[in-house]
Amino acid sequence: LAPSTQPWRSPGEPQAPFFLLTPRWPVECEVIHETIEHIGEGMLQLGFPPKPEPFCPPMGPEQALYNISEEQGTVVYHSSRALQGSCFTRARVGGAPGPLSSPASPLEGPQDTTLLFESRFESGNLQKAIKVGPYEYMLMLQPDLYTAKHTQWFYFRVQNTRQEPLYRFTIANMAKPNSLYGQGLQPLLYSQRDAQSRGIGWRRVGTDVCYYRGSAGEPLLFRLSWTVRFPHDGDTCFFAACYPYTYSDLQRYLRALAADPVRSRYCTVQVLCRSLAGNPVHLLTITSPGGTAGKRVVVVSARVHPGESGSSWAMRGFLDFLLSAHADAWLLRRLFVFKVVPMLNPDGVVVGNSRCSLAGRDPNRAYGMALPSSFPSVWHLRAMVQRVLAEREVVLYCDFHGHSRKNNVFMYGCDASRDGTGTRLCQRVFPLMLSKNAPDKFSFSSCKFQVQKSKEGTGRVSMWRLGVSHSYTLEVAFSGSTLGGRSSHFSVEDLKSLGRLLCDTLLDFCDPAPAKFQQCLVEADALLQQQMGHEPGSGGSWSDVSPSELESRYVTPCHSMSPHSA
């Protein structure tokens, strides 16, 4: 499968069969032979909670627990993948060759209540578990492979559960000083027994959830602690930071697309490039069959940060809607060519990283580097957009992400103070329209448009520098929404709905009738005038004010524009 060099291959033409490839792992990684799957694929009405799950009352810092240490307990699980300071050399299907080690301590008998931990599966992350009490465990996460940092994503299995006791888990090496776990976010639990017998999938659990500073030391680390009761004796359960979406999940979805005689007429699946480990980075071209003459282009990507799995569910909703029989989806396919890279960092997703690729660095800071051998996916994506821009307009670029410290959904755009007032206002129109179409999820007041020097290597800024006028990062909170009377976690259906809402907003944004666009321009100007303290109609100017100064204050917009309809 060679990298794609023909960006205008038309949907509707015959394409090669899509083969489900087993992921390639670095040879340092042991991988168990079991296939880990959860209900949800095709069973969303059963697999996920039907009602909103409210935020839990967080514990304050003054209630932080005593600082337990590894010396106070017994190591019952230890899986080490790569030595600090090492670097990626080669990969193979199945990871490390040879027989598997036994990182979990064996049970002493049927009365032994010690939990059995495991994380050596796709997207799994748990390095160590220390039993510090009969039902209390201190956990250590695996840093991103070939680094010593970026501990945030977790996903692991526990077996030998007991229903009656109250368990406490404390992850002792979280990297960020602030987290939504301090504002009501709860971990996710999946019970295999409940999935099999009752059709219940992932759900939010945990009481006494607390996020606090750990013991003094270098580097500075933070702790996430929660208590939970398991639903059954002898169950197999999983914990995760967000709804998992693995590279194999994506491949199964793409295989179903390629095999669908209707949807495959609108969509071709190609290989943009191969990752460092040799995993294909997929590129989808979506448009109506026939010629592409006169069509503008929309470029969408996701999962450059592997620990932000919610972005994959938003991408799933985007693709589901765009390839559906809905009249708006038909119109979008007729008007545009969509170039979609649903998983930019498959290696990071496979090994359970939070942020980095196998280069040991954040690929979303590498768009400005001419290093195709180190960051192949972002290099080839940027090169593809350059080729497209040489032929036609790219009306929008949007990169889907997750956010660990702010609630709701919001966007980052690109506002250069050297641009004229009209251009700076236009940067704000698309997010403002999205806030009106998703008033219970999207916060326009949380959007930022400043182009910071530290963000020059991001996809958003790089595409803008290439000439994509409307280039955004879509940030989806790990937690949920505080808008529209909500104070609850996002469900998978919430995340998927963002993809549909983005499609609705694209039609509003490109509507040949200018009324909605003009209304949002006027409202964006009024909001900026208010931020500068100018009275409405006073004629005050903000055009010479820097984006950083504008963002030091914000005003909440109204939601008077009716949502998009067919």
Give the whole-angstrom CA distance, residue 123 versus residue 353: 7
CA angle 488, 490, 494 (to 5 degrees): 125
Give the whole-angstrom CA distance, residue 119 versus residue 352: 9
Query: Are the CB atoms for 128 and 139 separated by under 8 Å?
Result: yes
In order of 37, 111, 136, 196, the CA distances from 192 in angstroms are: 10, 22, 22, 6
Give the whole-angstrom CA distance, residue 157 versus residue 115: 10
- Specify the DSSP element, H or E, that contains 30: none
The C-alpha R_g of the chain, in whole angstroms, comes to 24
The secondary structure of residue 87, as a DSSP letter, is -
Give the whole-angstrom CA distance, residue 215 versus residue 69: 9
Please provide the DSSP assignment of 306-362 as one string. TT-THHHHHHHHHHHHHTSS-HHHHHHHHHEEEEEES-S-HHHHHHT-SS--TTSS-
**Residues with catalytic annotation?**
475
Regarding beta strands 296-302 and 336-341, do their DSSP bridges make them parallel or antiparallel, or are they unpaired? parallel
Contacts of 327 (CB under 8 A, 6+ apart): 566
CB atoms within 10 A of CB 515: 9
String of b and e for 134-165 (b: at least 16 CB within 10 Å)? ebbbbbbbbbbbbbeebbbbbbbbbebbbeee
Give the whole-angstrom CA distance, residue 559 versus residue 566: 19
Of the chain, the end-to-end C-alpha distance in Å amounts to 39
Please provide the DSSP assignment of 216-285 as one string. S-SS--EEEEEEE--SSTT-EEEEESS----HHHHHHHHHHHHH-TTGGGTEEEEEEEE-TTS-EEEEEE
Assigned token pair, 144? 């991103």
Contacts of 34 (CB under 8 A, 6+ apart): 121
Amino acid in the structure at residue 31? V
